[in-house]
Structure 1
């Protein structure tokens, strides 16, 4: 009987044993400004702004159970995006468990995409005029609003429709279309297509194409994988004259901004580059992560955050297949611009 009572007392003590919480410190208080950027890719000021923007979703409603602050959740999310670390490593750095780090990350991504609205295609006359002026100074082609291209983001092979996600380079990916302005701000993003989808097919089904056709607002610059349109200028294949060669040269000067933007994006957020492994999520969640990274990239530009010094090599090759699809009006329109050179 005595042994039974003793056993009961031990079990009762175990049930009442308090949870042991890891010590948490405000990491930002212990790091220099350059260390913050190296670890989280955003500056101290940008992180503060982001925390205030997302606080409504992330701030715990009570202080019970040692709840995580919104700032800690922001830092957990940024650390995973910037390094592509395992959740176990992110958890250890921030004094939480692996399941907690994973939950925080998903809440952070959802909140960021819901609250931060900084991917905007210019529609007002003033904004469009400024964008066109900036591109003209860069490439001497009039009426340009942006440069368009696609980039492959490695993901975990999905359980459904797996073969559609195998890209031309032989790995599972989603093909993300983006348009950027002359400052490498992303101004339009389509992140929902499997890696095997051709860039031109993605553009032909996007809302931006319909907008440009309907409004005649301006021109995009794209590589030879896109069909020539009055609103989408491509390089001249097999240039024969000096004007055609100069046109191609200036076209490349304008188009290079989207290639550089992808390079800076994947250098900042290694989870999007194969050096950081693959996004360990389903395609839909992976697309949400990509959009979140692009919004953070724009935020870095807004806060003048320096580009990362530990840049990775991003081989964004133009489409191997040259698309000859174009209409005669577009051909005449491009020739008129070529004649300007």
Structure 2
């Protein structure tokens, strides 16, 4: 009996596959062991772009210490990018990278401040060459002339602040920041206003921003925006209750031109899930939330510039974004805006 059991066990051992050798990664260099595709899926950026960002802010995030080994700068950068990409609890990011939750919180503060100060790629066209190029690209979308940007806004959920809490409650009933953006045809943000509480209306934000004064004084073209914005000589809105075929065609061309802003916000929130409500909310003070949103937009522009493939699990649909942000209002238009829109309508006759 014993001999038979010995033979059976021996055969089982012979049939058993040899164990896979364990792979010990170099924790000092976390870039090893993953491909660019895997890095983009986890951190939204390939290795080369992450290294470029790291070199940009390395001196700002380095922690001089003689007590023990400080967390490497590359690990700090990956922790921050992972939080932006997934919107996970900070404890999840901590477990993934072998640090504590308070350490993750400090790293986010350090890296976001450094990137916000160093990365400057939100640029509105200012030269005649850039303006003409922008108008040509927008005209190719739906034959709508003179457009230099698409204007829209979105709500970014945040944790209820300790001061002036009521001012941050948006019309949807949650605490948020109301963010205004202008984008071009490639979904790149050319202007960003990120400082107003969720209760502030989009038209007020636009009237108070610096771009409003630049467009009013420059006479370089116009933006296209939804009916939640006031009609101005430099901001074209849809024609409410169109009655002629020309007005119908104007509205269709306007919608096809303006949709790039809705798509840009959708891709931004889907690429960096911490900005979308499915990721919960930004658990920081309003001032820190502003920096996180600003850096997310700058990294989005970086992805557009470098043509980094978009590999997030799913994109926020345009319809969802539109329902979230558009509040149609019959806002009284100025005379210059009405005359300019009527001239454009005649072009579609």
Common topology (TM > 0.5) = yes
Output aligned runs, 1:125-164, within 5 Å.
125-164=128-167
Q: Paired residue for 1:329, among 332, 336, 348?
A: 336
Judge conservation of contact 1:45–1:303 (CA < 8 Å) in 2. no
What secondary structure sits across from 1:193 in the alignment? strand
* Deviation at residue 312 of structure 1 after TM alignment: 4.1
> Is 1:285 paired with 2:288?
yes
Cα distance, 1:281 vs structure 2: 0.7
Count of paired positions: 319
Q: How does 1:1-341 map to 2 (within 5 A)?
A: 24-61=27-64, 65-314=68-317, 315-316=320-321, 317=323, 318-341=325-348
Q: What is the CA distance between 1:182 and its match in structure 2?
A: 0.9
Q: Kindly state the Cα deviation for residue 319 of structure 1 after the two structures are TM-superposed.
A: 2.7
Q: CA contact under 8 A between 2:150 and 2:182: conserved in structure 1?
A: yes
Could you say if the C-alpha distance between residues 309 and 101 of structure 1 is closer, same or farther in structure 2, counting changes exceeding 3 Å?
closer
- Shifted more, 54-63 versus 73-82: the winner is 54-63
Equivalent position SS for 2:342: helix
Structure 1 residues 83, 63: CA separation in 2 closer, same or farther (over 3 Å shift)?
farther
Unpaired segments of 5 or more residues in structure 1?
1-22
Q: Over residues 214-250 of structure 1, what are the superposed CA-to-partner deviations in whole Å (9 max), with x where a residue is unaligned? A: 1112210100000001100001111111111111111
Give 3-state SS (helix, strand or coil) of 1:27's partner: coil
In the alignment, is the contact (CA less than 8 A) between 2:267 and 2:316 conserved in 1? no
- How much does 1:143 deviate? 1.8
TM-score normalized by the length of structure 2 = 0.88
Q: Structure 1 residue 280: deviation in Å? A: 0.2
Residues 188-234 of structure 1: CA distance to partner in whole angstroms, max 9, x if unpaired?
Answer: 11111111111001101111000101111221010000000110000
Contact map agreement 2:216 2:234 (CA 8 A) in 1 = yes
The Cα of 1:32 is off from its aligned counterpart by 1.7
Larger Rg: 2
CA distance in 2, matches of 1:131, 1:47: 29
CA contact (8 A) 1:167 1:173 kept: yes
CA offsets 1:87-108 (integer angstroms, 9 cap, x no match): 1111121122222221111100
Deviations along 1:99-134, one digit per CA (max 9) or x if unpaired, are 222111110000000000000111112211211111
Aligned Cα root-mean-square deviation (Å): 1.5
Output the CA distance in 1 between the equivalents of 2:41 and 2:330.
Answer: 41
CA distance in 1 between counterparts of 2:271 and 2:303 reads 10
Cα distance in 2 for partners of 1:51, 1:306 equals: 20
Give me the TM-score of the superposition, normalised by structure 1.
0.90
Classify the secondary structure of the residue corresponding to 2:136. helix
